[in-house]
């Protein structure tokens, strides 16, 4: 037995020495310094799987501005992790050499399961102007930029939010699971605003399918045998694709209440002769863009508002100033609020949402190195490897945010506060940055703000059973989530403020102006 053990130990030692040697042999001296690992090539994988969004801040040895992390024993397995805001800006300027579009093409093929025909179309010259992916953002920009089209989407979402609260008022007092209720509500609000009255997600089975598919996104992206490890998610994906294909084929996009965003995407797809079945698959990526941040952020803003009396008081005070109240001849009290005014009259609420994205955001903003590139004249980034821009590293940097960086400070972004200091324009990664700055940020931020503002005005919320507010852990949150989802839900008691007979009316005047939560677009 001892002889066998000796052979095993010797073999393990030899393998370790081989991997350690290979680690250094494959590292060019001009590449960013390596992250030292206990088990070469494998430790980073284990770290990502266990620590997820907290993995990258833990890598920041000696405040290195950039470093190399080796993953698998295969080409293209190095991660160049950016820690410095100065280097981050340089990376974003090299959007062709350090490109996101090939990753989008991979997602279309591996995550959405598009055909070879569609894959060839979108993979052709992915970094050149006029290609499918390089022209996509430009094609949909008019529908999402501040304009009559964005206002039309916001009006629908505001009305749907009002309907959600009318339904809640009818059943109050009531108990709900906060994350489940907020996610369900905002999924329907968001998809109604985009897809119109024939929104396929109105079918509860499709919503349930989305929740089965989304947690397994990383398995599809990494090609970890999804037919085996994510078979249920694969079935859910096909269920969603089938429903969306039916929506696209039914003529629903031509309905007057369908958003310009849907029409713009269809027009772009048709201009490149994308088959209708693949257009339905591409919508999966667009749906993730709509819902991925919106659903968990809607939960987290409610959690932070209601769990802290000072936050609730500050936001309640500023939102109440936007409400006008009238009393009808038959004694019915009517409260009216212009939701568009929330964008300009609630700096503390806006700051709270930005802090939700800073405090909880764990997006990584990957880029593929298309050709050897000498970053900042001194760091060699080799073709085929991946550049990672972990938002968590920027969001947890004491030198940028101060000594309270680990504390949720709802007034952190209030420009009128004496302690306010505008952060580096690229340090806030709530919606990405550079050419990949989320085009839907105006729409998403407006609906989340209105959702929170109306909730505060209309309802008192506290944990049921007299329990204290305890922030849920996020250890089980999917790796692909840019805003983590809680491991467990919070059952809350929801009670109506004021008499049940009161009415609330919400309008959206439309401003045609931006509500910019990304620091790259903010001008104080």
Among candidate residues 519, 522, 524, the one with its CA nearest the CA of residue 432: 519
pLDDT per position as a tens digit, 364-381: 889 999 999 999 999 999
Share of the chain above pLDDT 70, in %: 85
Angle between helices 260-271 and 132-144 (to 10 degrees): 160
Share of the chain above pLDDT 90, in %: 62
pLDDT per position as a tens digit, 301-357: 999 999 999 999 999 999 999 999 888 777 788 899 998 899 889 999 999 999 999
Q: What is the pLDDT of residue 519?
A: 52
Confidence band of 522 (pLDDT split at 50, 70, 90): very low
Higher pLDDT pick, 388 / 49: 388
- Report whether 441 contacts 289 (CB < 8 A): no
- Report whether 57 contacts 484 (CB < 8 A): no
Annotation: binding site: 438
CA pair distance 88, 164, nearest whole angstrom: 41
Query: Mean pLDDT, to the nearest integer, of 72-98?
Result: 83
- Report whether 339 contacts 507 (CB < 8 A): yes
Q: What is the pLDDT of residue 69?
A: 78
Which residues are bridge partners to 334 per DSSP? Answer: 326, 503
pLDDT per position as a tens digit, 71-83: 654 445 788 989 8
Looking at every residue in the chain, the average pLDDT score rounds to 87
Q: φ and ψ at 169, to 5 degrees?
A: -65, -35
Answer whether residue 60 shows pLDDT above 70.
no
CA pair distance 389, 56, nearest whole angstrom: 9
How many helices (H) and strands (E) in the chain?
22, 13
Answer whether residue 521 shows pLDDT above 50.
no
> Torsion-angle region of residue 223: left (phi > 0), alpha (psi -120 to 50) or beta?
left
Q: What is the pLDDT of residue 221?
A: 86
Of the listed ranges 181-195, 417-431, 506-520, the least confidently predicted one is 506-520
Answer whether residue 283 shows pLDDT above 90.
yes
Q: What is the pLDDT of residue 395?
A: 92
Helix, strand, or coil here: 97? coil
Helix, strand, or coil here: 304? helix
- Report whether 483 contacts 304 (CB < 8 A): no
Integer CA distances (angstroms), 112 to 119, 220, 221, 228, in order: 11, 8, 9, 16
Which residues are bridge partners to 174 per DSSP? Answer: 494
Q: What is the pLDDT of residue 518?
A: 60
Answer whether residue 70 shows pLDDT above 90.
no
Is the peptide bond prior to 295 cis by the omega test (within 30 degrees of 0)? no
Of the listed ranges 94-98, 106-110, 332-336, the least confidently predicted one is 332-336
pLDDT per position as a tens digit, 192-210: 999 999 999 999 999 999 9
Q: For the domain with range 132-507, which CATH number is right: 1.10.630.10, 3.30.930.10, 1.20.120.1200, 3.40.50.720?
A: 1.10.630.10
Q: What is the pLDDT of residue 408?
A: 97
Confidence band of 42 (pLDDT split at 50, 70, 90): low
DSSP character string of 376-422: TTTEEE-TT-EEE--HHHHHT-HHHH-TTTTS--TTTT-TTSTT--P
Q: What is the pLDDT of residue 50?
A: 56
Among candidate residues 181, 197, 334, 336, the one with its CA nearest the CA of residue 254: 197
Q: What is the pLDDT of residue 517?
A: 62
Helix, strand, or coil here: 163? helix
Higher pLDDT pick, 418 / 306: 306
Q: What is the pLDDT of residue 48?
A: 53
Helix, strand, or coil here: 329? coil
Q: What is the pLDDT of residue 423?
A: 74
Annotation: binding site for heme: 438
Instruction: Characterize 466-504 residue by residue with b for buried, 16 or more Cβ atoms within 10 angstroms of its Cβ, and e for exposed.
Output: eeeeeebebeebbbbbbbbbbeebbebbbebeeeeeeeb
Answer whether residue 41 shows pLDDT above 60.
no
Report which listed range, 22-31, 419-428, 442-451, is most confident. 442-451
* DSSP symbol at 61: G
Of the listed ranges 35-49, 204-218, 261-275, the least confidently predicted one is 35-49
Say which residues have a Cβ less than 8 Å from residue 50's Cβ, sequence separation at least 6.
none
Strand segments (E) across 129-260: 174-177
Higher pLDDT pick, 425 / 192: 192
Q: What is the pLDDT of residue 223?
A: 83
Answer whether residue 7 shows pLDDT above 90.
no
Q: What pTM was computed for the model?
A: 0.89
Answer whether residue 1 shows pLDDT above 60.
no
Q: φ and ψ at 265, to 5 degrees?
A: -65, -40
Of the listed ranges 204-208, 420-424, 435-439, the least confidently predicted one is 420-424
CA pair distance 392, 518, nearest whole angstrom: 15
């Amino acid at each position: 037995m001892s002889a066998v053990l000796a052979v095993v130990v010797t073999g393990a030692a030899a393998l370790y020495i081989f991997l350690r040697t290979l680690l250094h042999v494959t590292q060019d001296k001009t590449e960013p310094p390596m992250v030292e690992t206990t088990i070469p090539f494998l430790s980073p994988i284990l770290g990502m799987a266990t620590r997820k969004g907290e993995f990258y801040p833990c890598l920041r040895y000696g405040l290195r501005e950039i470093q190399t992390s080796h993953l698998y024993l295969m080409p293209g397995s190095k991660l160049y992790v950016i820690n410095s805001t100065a280097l981050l800006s340089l990376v974003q300027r090299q959007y062709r050499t350090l490109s996101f579009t090939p990753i989008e093409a991979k997602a279309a093929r591996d995550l959405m399961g598009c055909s070879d025909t569609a894959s060839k179309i979108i993979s052709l010259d992915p970094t050149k102007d006029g290609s499918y992916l390089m022209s996509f953002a430009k094609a949909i920009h008019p529908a999402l930029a501040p304009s009559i089209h964005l206002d039309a989407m916001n009006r629908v979402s505001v009305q749907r939010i009002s309907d959600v609260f009318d339904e809640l008022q009818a059943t109050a007092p009531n108990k709900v699971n906060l994350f489940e209720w907020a996610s369900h509500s905002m999924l329907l609000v968001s998809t109604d605003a985009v897809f119109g009255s024939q929104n396929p997600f109105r079918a509860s089975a499709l919503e349930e399918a989305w929740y089965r598919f989304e947690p397994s996104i990383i398995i599809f992206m990494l090609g970890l045998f999804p037919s085996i490890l994510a078979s249920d998610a694969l079935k859910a994906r096909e269920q969603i694709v089938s429903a969306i294909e039916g929506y696209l084929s039914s003529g629903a996009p031509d309905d007057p209440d369908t958003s310009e965003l849907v029409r713009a995407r269809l027009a772009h797809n048709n201009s490149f002769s994308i088959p209708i079945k693949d257009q339905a698959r591409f919508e999966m990526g667009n749906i993730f863009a709509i819902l991925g941040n919106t659903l968990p952020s809607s939960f987290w803003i409610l959690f932070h508002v209601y769990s802290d009396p000072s936050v609730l008081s500050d936001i309640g005070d500023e939102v109440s100033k936007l409400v006008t109240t009238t009393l009808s001849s038959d004694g019915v009290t009517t409260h009216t609020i212009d939701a568009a005014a929330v964008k300009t009259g609630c700096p503390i609420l806006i700051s709270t949402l930005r802090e939700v994205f800073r405090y909880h955001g764990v997006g990584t903003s990957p880029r593929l190195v298309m050709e050897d590139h000498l970053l900042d004249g001194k760091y060699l980034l080799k073709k085929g490897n991946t550049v990672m821009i972990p938002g968590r590293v920027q969001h947890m940097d004491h030198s940028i945010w101060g000594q309270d960086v680990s504390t949720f400070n709802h007034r952190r972004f209030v420009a009128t506060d004496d302690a306010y200091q505008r952060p580096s324009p690229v340090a806030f990664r709530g919606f990405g940055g550079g050419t990949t700055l989320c085009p839907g940020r105006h729409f998403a931020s407006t609906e989340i703000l209105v959702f929170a503002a109306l909730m505060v005005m209309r309802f008192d919320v506290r944990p049921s059973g007299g329990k204290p507010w305890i922030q849920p852990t996020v250890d089980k949150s999917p790796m692909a989530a840019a805003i983590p989802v809680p491991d467990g839900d919070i059952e809350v008691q929801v009670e109506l403020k004021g008499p049940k007979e009161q009415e609330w009316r919400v309008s959206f005047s439309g401003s045609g102006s931006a509500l910019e939560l990304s620091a790259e677009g903010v001008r104080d």
